[in-house]
Structures are given as C-alpha cells and as structure tokens.
Structure 1
Amino acid sequence: MGYAYYVGLAINGAVEGLTIGLAALAINLVFAVGRFPNATTGDLMTVGAYAGIAVQQSGLRSLWLQGLAAVGASMALSLALYLFVFRALRGRGMLAPLLASIGLAILVRSVLSFFAGHDQYVFQLPIVRPIMIAGIPVQSYDLWLGGVALVCVLLVMAILFLSPIGRQMRAVADDLTLARTSGINVDRVYLVMWLLVGFVTGVAGMVLGVRTVVMPEMGWNMLLPAFAAAVLGGVGSPAGAVLAAMVVGIAQEMSTPVLGFTYKIGLAFMVLVVILAVRPAGLFGRVERVR
C-alpha cells in the first residue's frame, strides 16, 4: 500500500464526508429551527434514492433526471411530514417531535420494505476510465458526486447567510418569540426550512445511492455518522456540521486498513468523544451560560 492508495482513501473519505455533511446539515437545520433531533433524516435520503431508481427502471438512464426525481420525492415527503405531523407538534418541547420522528422513520422504512422488498438496487453507470491526477487514479464519478454535494452545501449556505429567508430562519433559530414579535412570518420560515431539508436529503440520498447500493436501511445506516458530525461541529452551526463531517469521513476511510470496513464507523464516535471532552459545545458551537 503506497502513497497513491492513501490518497485514494482520502479522496473517498472527502466524498463520504460531503455525503455525511449533507445529512448533518439537514439535522442541524431542524434542530436549530424546529428544536428537535429529526430521526427521519436518513429515511428522507432513502426515499430520494428509491425515486431515482424508479426513474431508472422506467427506462430513463439520465442521472440528472434521476437526481431531480430524488430531490422532488424527498422534498414532497419532507413537506408532508411537516404539514401533517410536525406542525401540530410545534411548541410541545423536544420529546414529542423526536418520538414522532422515530416512529415516522420506522414507518417509512416499513413501507419501502413492503413495496420494494429488501433487494439491493444499483444505479447503472457507464464504465469510464479513472482520471489521473498527479499520477494517482481517481474515479471520475467520485469527483462528480463530490462536486454535486459541494455545490449543494454552498447553495444552502448562500440561502442561510445571504438571502432574506435565510436571515429570518437564523432569527427564528436564535429567538422564536423575538422573531415573531418583530413581524417575521414564522409559518413561512418553517415551511421553507422543511423544503430545504427535503432538498438536501434528496441530493444526499442520490449521492449515497450512486456510491453504494439502494436498500431500505441505507439512510438509517448513515444517520449515526450524521448525528455524530452534527454534534461534533456544534449544534446550531451548519458550516461546523459540514466541516466535522469531512473530518469524520476522511478519518473513517483512512482507518480502513487498520480497523477494516466493519469497524471503521466506530472511529466517528471515538473522535466525537475525544473532541467533546475538550470542547463540550463541539468544534464551532457556542457555549451558553445558564443562570
């Protein structure tokens, strides 16, 4: 195992980290604005991936069309979950929506398993040669998928920090009562937030599905590293969640020669414990005084 092998692992880890980062970003959005950990995040990703597979099986082989279907399905489900479940649970503390999200996640997986079975599906990709970068072979699809994930992250950051609705979302996250008093349409903010969560999870599900296999548990398996990254980056810090996910993804891949594929996920939680022991608020979280 030479230099090129470890560079390849680092590139795979970066793409994996961006995928985890998208899921962590979705978790962070709901936690900051909705004020509860959303356990349906992984299953929103799974629904998006299955929508892409459905388009492929209909005979349309364009990855872009499959990706649009994935994003559309995840956004539709995310909006439906908000309108029919989570909107009624606003203001009822953290426990009620958390338990509801766990139940909904199980329901979504059960429905997918009932209709699609537990068979594994793969996206049919044309065979292409690796791209040589500084003498190191890199899979072109990894570059494309990493680029798509990065563009998605940057787009969400631009919405959060450069647009009026993003400023309103951050105001609601900081102080809901003050935001409502100042005239912000809180209902509209929640609506946009859930649509944004659907968009992010749809892209994440498509990227994960192309890189691995599509099955009912694929999003659930991604949920633990995503929560680890969200906490590690600092709850309430979207950029911190993405950067922490990159650390988790690269660390997991680089540890594969030592820990193997089965146990590498444990490294994410080892890193989480070590950093939280030093910085309880996470890498970029804010420590709030309680009086």
Structure 2
Amino acid sequence: MTFISLLNYSLNGLVEGLLIALPALALTLVMGVARFANAATGDYMTVSAYGAVAAQKAIAASASAAMLGALAIGIAVSVLAGWLVFRLLRGRPFVTSLVASIGVALLTRSVLTYFVGHDPQTIEIPLMRAWNYWGIRILPTDIAVAAIALLAMALVFGILYLTPLGREMRAVADNPDLARASGIRANRVWITLWVIVGVLCAFGGVLYGAKAVVVPELGWELLIPAFAAMVAGGVGNPVGAVLAGVLLGVIQELSVPFVGPSYKIAMSFLVLLIVLLFRPRGLFGVSVSTR
C-alpha cells in the first residue's frame, strides 16, 4: 500500500468514523442514564433515513427538507419508544430492557418494510466531482457529512456540559439515587435523553443514507461498529465513544485492502475482543454500575 493510498483510506475512515460516532454516542448516553444497551438505535437511524426520503419526495427534493423530515421521525420514534416501553421498565434488570429494545427494533423494522418494501431508496444530494490533490481524493460530500456530524455532536456536548439540563442528565448517570434525592425530575431527564438519541440517530441515518442507499438494513450496518465503539471508548463515557468511533472507522477502512469491503466490519469485533481482553473498561473507560 502506497502512502497516498494509505492517506486516502484514512480520510475515508475519518468520515466513516464520524458516522459510527453518532450512534455510538446515542448508545453511550442511554447506557449511562437508562442503564441498558438500546439495540433499537440502528432502526431509529433507518426510520429517520426513510423520513428524509419521504420529505424530499413531498417537498421538491430539498436537502433541508430531508434533514427536517429525518429529525421529526427520529425524535418521534425515539421518544415514543422511550416513554411507552423503556420508561415502564426503569429499575428492572439490564437484560429486561435489552430484550425489550430488540423487540422494539424488530417491530420498527417490520412495520417499516410493510409500508416501504425492500427496494433501495436514495436521498438526493448535489453531485460534485472529487477534488484531487497529488493523488489525494477529497469528496465535497464527505466534507459536508463530516461537518454536519461534528456539528450534531457539538450540539449534544453543549447540552450535556453547558446547560442545567445536561448537568441533571450527568447527575442521573453518576448516581441515580442521589439525583432523585436532590429533587431532579426523572421524567424531564428521561424525555430529554430520548430527544437527544432521536437527534443523533436522525443525523446518523440521513448522513449515512446520503453516502449510500436507504434500505431497511441501513441501521444494522452501523449498529455493530457503534456497539464496539461504545465498549471500546468506555461504557458511559461520551467523549470516549466518539473517539473510539473515529478510531474504529479508520481501522475498518485501512483493513479494506487486506480483507475487502465485505469483511471490514469484522474489524469491529476484533477491536472489541482485544479491548475486552486487555482493557475491559475501554480505552477511555470509567466504571459504570448496572441495575
């Protein structure tokens, strides 16, 4: 592999890593506040991507309409499932909510395929030729995707670390009993959590759909690397999840010349296995208790 090829794969990996970081951050927030791994995260992304397609068809293929449609659907599905399903399971064992999230994922995917079928859909974006600098290829679309992903994560981190509501969420994540005793309203934190998860999944779904095609399995392709990034970054550590997601994206892309694009997802399992064997708390991990 030449240096130019290595650089091209690394740039592609950075973009893919930012897309992995969006659902990884959503998974980490749910794990920290609600204390379970939400297996429906990928399907929230898929529904959001289809919301973007529907919005474009309804409003003259506008990119802003696609994003608004994705946000509306992503937030609605996330909050609805969070309030009607996961809220009722608060305080139950970890596995109970995990199994429930698998059920939500299967139900969401089944309802979606019933109405839209399995035919690939596309999110319309302007076609632009790649910039070529001495063999280094940079797609304007990738720059836009990376910028929007960074903006979405910056918005979430701003809420988490610069607002009273974010402090309440972190207090619940650190010590739920103490937060409750301090008068923090659990329902407000709960709804905020699922709104943020919906926003992250909406951005992840529409950005990944814009780079590829929209199919019912879209979210599944990012869910496994996102789980690996959540664990590798340290369960309950939002910054760690983002950094691990970017690192995982680069590793996956750099593996393509050796294992091919179809098997690069296996690198997620390999990284996860290595981290669990040698650093169970993750690369940037903090210990988080489960109920």
TM-score bracket, normalised by the shorter chain, equals: over 0.9
TM-score by length of 2: 0.95
Map of 1:46 onto structure 2: 46
| Partner SS for 1:85 | helix
Q: How does 1:105-254 map to 2 (within 5 A)?
A: 105-133=105-133, 136-254=136-254
The aligned length equals: 290
1:31 aligns with 2:50: no
Map of 2:76 onto structure 1: 76
Map of 2:94 onto structure 1: 94
Aligned-residue offset at 1:275: 2.4
* CA contact 2:63–2:124 (8 Å) conserved in 1: no
Alpha-carbon distance in structure 1 between the residues aligned to 2:4 and 2:122: 27
AA partner of residue 241 (structure 2): A
Q: Could you list the per-position Cα deviations for residues 225-281 of structure 1 after superposition, in whole angstroms to 9, with x for gaps in the alignment?
A: 110000000001000001001111000001101100111111111112112222110
Q: Could you list the per-position Cα deviations for residues 196-225 of structure 1 after superposition, in whole angstroms to 9, with x for gaps in the alignment?
A: 000110000011100111011110221111
Aligned-residue offset at 1:127: 2.2
Alpha-carbon distance in structure 2 between the residues aligned to 1:175 and 1:59: 46
TM-score by length of 1: 0.95
AA partner of residue 171 (structure 1): A
Q: Could you list the per-position Cα deviations for residues 57-104 of structure 1 after superposition, in whole angstroms to 9, with x for gaps in the alignment?
A: 224222122011101110011111112111111111212211111011
Alpha-carbon distance in structure 2 between the residues aligned to 1:215 and 1:241: 26
Aligned-residue offset at 1:128: 1.2
Question: Cα 1:160–1:59, aligned 2, differ >3 Å: closer, same or farther?
Answer: closer
Aligned-residue offset at 1:18: 0.6
AA partner of residue 42 (structure 1): G
Q: How does 1:252-263 map to 2 (within 5 A)?
A: 252-263=252-263
Unaligned 5+ residue runs, structure 1?
none
Question: Cα 1:105–1:279, aligned 2, differ >3 Å: closer, same or farther?
Answer: same
AA partner of residue 69 (structure 1): G
Map of 1:265 onto structure 2: 265
Question: Cα 1:21–1:288, aligned 2, differ >3 Å: closer, same or farther?
Answer: closer
Question: Cα 1:180–1:134, aligned 2, differ >3 Å: closer, same or farther?
Answer: farther
AA partner of residue 79 (structure 2): L
Aligned-residue offset at 1:124: 2.3
- % identity of equivalent residues: 46
Q: How well do the aligned residues superpose, as a CA RMSD in angstroms?
A: 1.6
Map of 2:279 onto structure 1: 279
Q: Could you list the per-position Cα deviations for residues 129-162 of structure 1 after superposition, in whole angstroms to 9, with x for gaps in the alignment?
A: 2234566221100000011001111111111111
